[in-house]
Amino acid sequence: MGTVGLLYVGAVLVVNGVMLLGHVSPRGAAPLNLFVGALQVVAPTYLIVFAAGDPARIALAAGLYFFGFTYLWVGINGITGWPNEGLGWFSLVVAVAAVGFAVHSWVEVGDRVFGVIWLLWAVLWTAFFLLMALHRDHLAPAIGVLAAGEGLLTAFVPAFLILAGWWDDSWAQALVVAALGLLLLGVSAPLSRSLTAPAPVPSGTAPGVH
């Protein structure tokens, strides 16, 4: 069930990345955030209830709530127009927790790839903190590329591979994911310059006239 949720986390991160690039409005992205946010609250609750008291399974499920609350908050703010500062500071909490879950995944669970993935999520949620809590609005397009790219790299593709039975946790795969994550971080700003939606032309102004 957690893997199915991860598949849709990938989808919502891509949509939110496109939103930050200016191609989708916050209100337009709100429904998917609400759907996935609700799923990411229901899924860990189910996993914890049926974990039979296993601390490892409970710990893995507990981390999903951070993402569920994030997407619900994004969806609510998109509909209401409420300010994002609170969500920004919550994102810092998520980033710190993600580092802890990375260590837990690597040391206790022995899952090296998801140890790397948790670290990449820590980077992304730190970027959300910079954008929303500290109002680094100029970073929005680059963070949009980073969010969309991580949606594919850390969520959608791993979930699909796990569901298809093609997933293999190994040092090599962990290094590949880490390298791709660093590459994505490096190219986010350059790519954002060509992927950002053009600014709307004011009514009554001819294109190319400023």
Angle at 166 between CA 112 and CA 58, to 5 degrees: 50
Tell me the per-residue pLDDT of 117-134, one tens digit each, with 9 for 90 and over. 999 999 999 999 999 999
Q: Give me the mean pLDDT over the 136-143 stretch.
A: 97
Tokens for 32?
């998917």
Tokens for 54?
């296993």
With cut-offs at 50, 70 and 90, classify the pLDDT of residue 162: very high
- Domain residues of the chain, as ranges? 2-194
Domain covering 2-194: architecture: Alpha Horseshoe (1.25)
Tokens for 149?
């790219």
Residue 142 or 206, more confident = 142
Where is average pLDDT lowest: 54-68, 95-109, 165-179? Answer: 54-68
Tokens for 88?
């920004």
**Mean pLDDT score of the chain:** 92
Residue 207 pLDDT > 80? no
Whole-number Å distance between alpha carbons of 43 and 65: 9
Find out whether 65 and 38 touch, Cβ atoms under 8 Å.
no
Could you give the C-alpha distances from 190 to 69, 124, 149, 180, 196, in angstroms and in order?
31, 17, 14, 16, 11
Find out whether 140 and 20 touch, Cβ atoms under 8 Å.
yes
With cut-offs at 50, 70 and 90, classify the pLDDT of residue 148: very high
Q: Give me the mean pLDDT over the 75-92 stretch.
A: 97
Tell me the per-residue pLDDT of 17-40, one tens digit each, with 9 for 90 and over. 999 999 999 999 999 999 999 999
Q: CB atoms < 10 A from the CB of 16, how many?
A: 26
Model pLDDT, residue 54: 79
Considering only CA atoms, which of 2, 79, 64, 97 is closest in space to residue 33? 79
Tokens for 120?
């990449």
Find out whether 16 and 147 touch, Cβ atoms under 8 Å.
yes
Whole-number Å distance between alpha carbons of 135 and 66: 22
pTM (whole model) above 0.85: yes
With cut-offs at 50, 70 and 90, classify the pLDDT of residue 154: very high
Residue 71 pLDDT > 80? yes
Tell me the per-residue pLDDT of 37-62, one tens digit each, with 9 for 90 and over. 999 999 888 888 888 877 777 887 88
